[in-house]
């Protein structure tokens, strides 16, 4: 049998792993090594910026041809796009916001426009190259709009998105002017991955608060599909470090380091020059450590600071501040034989880095916040004897895995000083614990991370286009209602005919809705069956030739009449005061919630409350009500940010049955969106056709996406016969 062609993974990242000069050579990197572990299972392809600016078509063609040999597809950017999209919006707006530095956030209109345009360029490349069975894996904050742009054109493509930075709390994220657009781009992915549970939790919180998406911890429903969310802590290419410390080059560097720093313990810091790394605070801790240490020439601090974004003024100032502070500390604590801090502002070769990790007795890794921080893991990988001590910030993503490290608070100088003293002065510090951490990072390496994410992406639900059978069934249903000699249309209002609003009074019918109801009423008997009070329905739709039913069936005003009548002659409402007292206590303890007291029902609204707090309080209230209302003549329903307690005799199902008892219809169409509409869908009548608006399980025969989709269908129903 012929061998099946492996599924292609299209990795989409800001930069292709190449260096282009006179020649083109592949560059090593974390993603490259991570995907090396799955290349036997999948065909690999990359899309990204090649790192060179050229608008020469001939040169672009040459580069495209040469990159195709590596299965790379370039996205060419202009110099302005690199400045505005990358240096501008990505690194001067998103980066500081995601790392809890809102005072560094700068946003300019042209940056945002460029960010959108570059994301579209990446999306267009994906759309052009991807086959339906390919897996698309989009990486990081530079490309957060890409999933949305791609899905709009190619909804069948399966897309994963992984964020390599932290995702900030809602309070920080909402500072960004384009916060909704960013979320709306990401949520179109089929799988969204984060390093830690905390980042996922913050993302979910922003979805709930900014987009009103009822997200759970593992995902959420959107447009009749489910998007999954998960935690995938990235690892390192552990094998390269294990092999790296064995090379002759590394051993040579290691020998030189031991000779140079003989008799001293090396405390090592390695990072990009970035304000998120907490270097200034670390230097303050070192200064205090040296002040408290009578003999301090037995310790040397080596800072490897890799140049980063030197064109951004905050980074230039940071480098100057660090250099000044190191100079002051060295001036205070140096002598002719010893300088305590060595600052190296350059990249180092891999063999030299492995040697530094191996030679260091302590790794001092104290970022103010970091998505993961792979330096901590790289350091442990280079200490097979388990003797290395790791001081790690509790705000690094790695702290959630490497909990056997010396965990410190980088905002607490004394915490860092104590951690230094413990690491430096304890010869056999936690060797067993360091060995355990090393074993963990060797097992859960970058290839393990890539496999875990890809397997989760593979198992996300496949895209299902609206089935032709459902569409055809809806068409046939509409035609049967149109052809009926007598037909009735029962419509819920909020969430069905009209979208929800934050304030219920704002949900007045638009002119288009009023025109639609008037057209429907010219052909059918139209009933608006709502939970609203009769006063609202009368004010909004009283002028129309339709029947209005308020409070889910408490009162009715027939078409052509002015007076409202009760549908149920005798109701037991003795329970209302008891329930009202309970709800008042919940209003007092749930800011933003309020009570709507109706004739035969009481509704507790919590849409204006904090979404998570309101949802939690609603579950507490439901539990309490289920216990205490067992012997009361009431029904309890949870709606869209509401809990309604109503008289058991009153329901939409009973209201429909009462209306049907007064007139025979050849066809009956009803539509609703929440739990209170389900007994309407269950009315036993051979001519009943039912439509659920929105997601979720239902007894309705059909489902449509939202009120807009229902209005579109009703317009077809009301259209003149051809």
**227 touches 240 (CB < 8 A):** no
- 536 given a catalytic annotation: no
Q: For the chain, give the longest Cα–Cα distance.
A: 106
Closest CA to 582 of 522, 623, 523: 623
Q: In what order do the strands lie in the sheet with 601-605?
A: 594-597, 601-605, 642-647, 634-639
Cross-strand bridge partners of residue 603: 596, 644
123: Cβ–Cβ under 8 A, 6 or more apart, which residues?
A: 145, 146, 149, 150, 153
Q: Which tokens belong to 580?
A: 């009202």
Query: Which among 271, 256, 235, 237 is positioned nearest to 358, based on CA atoms?
Result: 256
Count the alpha carbons within 13 Å of 314 in the hemisphere toward its beta carbon: 16
Q: How far apart (Å, rounded) are the C-alpha atoms in residues 624 and 629? A: 9
Helix (H, G, I), strand (E, B) or coil at 668: strand
Question: Which residue, 370, 392, 368, 367, is CA-closest to 379?
Answer: 392
Pair type for strands 555-557 and 565-566: antiparallel
CB 148 within 8 Å of CB 182: no
Question: Directed axis angle between helix 413-425 and helix 279-292, to 10°?
Answer: 60
Residues 6+ apart with CB under 8 A from 236: 30, 374, 377, 378, 381, 441, 445, 446
Determine which one of 134, 140, 445, 492 is catalytic. 492
Of the candidates 78, 43, 48, the one whose C-alpha atom is nearest the C-alpha of residue 64 is 48
Contact 12, 139 (CB under 8 A): yes
Asked if residue 665 lies in contact with residue 487, where contact means CB atoms within 8 angstroms, the answer is: yes
Q: Quote the Cα angle for 611-369-389, to 5°.
A: 135
Residue 219: how many other CB atoms lie within 10 Å: 17
- Among 428, 453, 423, 442, which Cα is nearest to 378's? 442
Per the CB < 8 A criterion, the answer to whether 546 and 517 are in contact is yes
Find out whether 65 and 112 touch, Cβ atoms under 8 Å: no
Phi, psi of 391, deg, nearest 5: -100, 120
> What pairing do the DSSP bridges indicate for beta strands 18-20 and 8-15?
unpaired
Strands 225-231, 191-194: pairing kind: parallel
The DSSP symbol for 370 reads: B
Q: How many residues does the chain have?
A: 722
Give the CB-side neighbour count of residue 300, counting CA atoms within 13 A: 20
The CA distance from 461 to 228, in Å, is 9
Within a 10 A sphere around the Cβ of 699, how many other Cβ atoms? 13
**Sign of the alpha-carbon dihedral angle for 376, 379, 384, 385:** negative
Distance of CA 422 to the CA centre of its chain: 39
As a whole number of angstroms, the distance between CA 460 and CA 569 comes to 53
Fill in the DSSP letter of residue 506: G
CB 44 within 8 A of CB 11: yes
User: Cα-atom radius of gyration of the chain, to the nearest Å?
Assistant: 32
Give start and end residues of each alpha helix (H) in 18-141: 30-36, 57-68, 79-81, 95-98, 109-129
Cα 649 to its chain centre, rounded Å, is 44
Q: Provide DSSP, 555-580.
A: EEE-TT----EES-S----TTHHHHH
Residues annotated catalytic, as ranges: 492
């Amino acid at each position: 049998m012929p061998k099946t062609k492996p599924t292609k993974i299209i990795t989409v990242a800001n930069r292709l792993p190449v260096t282009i000069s006179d020649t083109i050579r592949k560059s090593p990197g974390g993603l490259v090594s991570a995907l090396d572990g799955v290349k036997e299972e999948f065909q690999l392809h990359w899309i990204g910026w090649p790192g060179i600016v050229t608008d020469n078509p001939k040169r672009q063609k040459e580069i495209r041809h040469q990159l195709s040999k590596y299965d790379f597809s370039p996205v060419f950017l202009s110099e302005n796009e690199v400045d505005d999209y990358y240096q501008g919006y990505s690194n001067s707006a998103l980066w500081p916001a995601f790392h809890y530095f809102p005072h560094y956030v700068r946003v300019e209109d042209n940056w945002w426009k460029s960010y959108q345009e570059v994301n579209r360029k990446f999306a267009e490349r994906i759309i052009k190259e991807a086959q339906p069975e390919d897996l698309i894996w989009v990486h990081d904050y530079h490309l957060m709009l890409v999933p949305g742009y791609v899905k709009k054109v190619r909804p069948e493509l399966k897309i994963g998105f992984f964020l390599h930075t932290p995702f900030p709390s809602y309070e920080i994220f909402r500072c960004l002017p384009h916060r909704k657009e960013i979320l709306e781009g990401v949520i179109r992915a089929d799988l969204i991955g984060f390093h830690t549970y905390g980042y996922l939790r913050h993302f979910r919180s922003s979805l709930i608060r900014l987009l009103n998406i009822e997200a759970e911890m593992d995902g959420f429903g959107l447009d009749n599909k489910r998007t999954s969310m998960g935690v995938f802590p990235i690892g390192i290419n552990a094998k390269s470090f294990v092999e790296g410390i064995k090379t002759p080059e590394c051993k040579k560097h290691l020998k030189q380091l031991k000779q140079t720093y003989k008799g001293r313990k090396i405390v090592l810091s390695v990072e990009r020059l970035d304000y998120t790394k907490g270097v200034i605070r670390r230097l303050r801790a070192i200064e205090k450590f040296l002040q408290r240490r009578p003999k301090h020439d037995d310790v040397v601090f080596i800072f490897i600071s890799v140049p980063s974004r030197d064109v951004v003024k905050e980074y230039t100032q940071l480098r100057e501040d660090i250099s000044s502070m190191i100079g002051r500390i060295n001036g205070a604590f140096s002598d002719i034989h010893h300088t305590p801090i060595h600052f190296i502002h350059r990249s180092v070769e891999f063999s030299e880095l492995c040697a530094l990790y191996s030679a260091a007795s302590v790794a001092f890794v104290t970022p103010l916040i970091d998505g993961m921080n792979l330096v901590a893991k790289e350091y442990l990988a280079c200490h097979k004897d388990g003797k290395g001590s790791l001081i790690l910030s509790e705000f690094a993503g790695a702290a959630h895995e490497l909990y056997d490290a010396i965990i410190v608070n980088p905002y607490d100088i004394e915490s860092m000083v104590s951690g230094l003293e413990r690491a430096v002065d304890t010869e056999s510090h936690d060797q067993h614990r360091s060995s355990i951490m090393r074993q963990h990072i060797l097992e859960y390496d970058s290839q393990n991370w890539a496999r875990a994410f890809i397997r989760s992406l593979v198992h996300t639900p496949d895209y299902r286009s609206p089935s032709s059978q459902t569409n055809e069934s809806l068409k046939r249903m509409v035609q049967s209602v149109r052809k009926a000699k007598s037909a009735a249309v029962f419509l819920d209002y909020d969430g069905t005919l009209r979208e929800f609003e934050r304030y219920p009074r704002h949900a007045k019918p638009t002119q288009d809705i009023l025109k639609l109801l008037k057209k429907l009423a010219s052909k059918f008997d139209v009933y608006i069956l709502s939970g609203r009070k009769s006063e609202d329905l009368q004010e909004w739709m009283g002028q129309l030739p339709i029947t209005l039913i308020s409070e889910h069936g408490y009162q009715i005003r027939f078409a052509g009449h002015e007076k409202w009548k009760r549908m149920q002659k005798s109701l037991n409402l003795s329970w209302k005061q008891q329930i009202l007292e309970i709800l008042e206590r919940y209003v007092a303890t749930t800011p933003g919630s309020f009570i709507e007291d109706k004739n035969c029902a009481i509704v507790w609204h919590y849409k204006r409350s904090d979404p998570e707090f309101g949802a939690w309080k609603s579950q507490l209230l439901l539990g309490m009500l289920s216990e205490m209302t067992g012997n009361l003549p009431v029904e309890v329903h949870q709606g869209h940010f509401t809990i309604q307690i109503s008289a058991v005799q009153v329901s939409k199902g009973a209201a429909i049955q009462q209306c049907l008892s007064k007139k025979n219809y050849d066809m009956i169409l009803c539509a609703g969106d929440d739990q209170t509409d389900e007994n309407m869908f269950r009315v036993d009548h051979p001519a009943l056709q039912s439509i659920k608006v929105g997601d979720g399980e239902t007894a309705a025969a059909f489902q449509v996406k939202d009120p807009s989709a229902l209005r579109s269908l009703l317009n077809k129903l009301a259209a003149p016969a051809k």
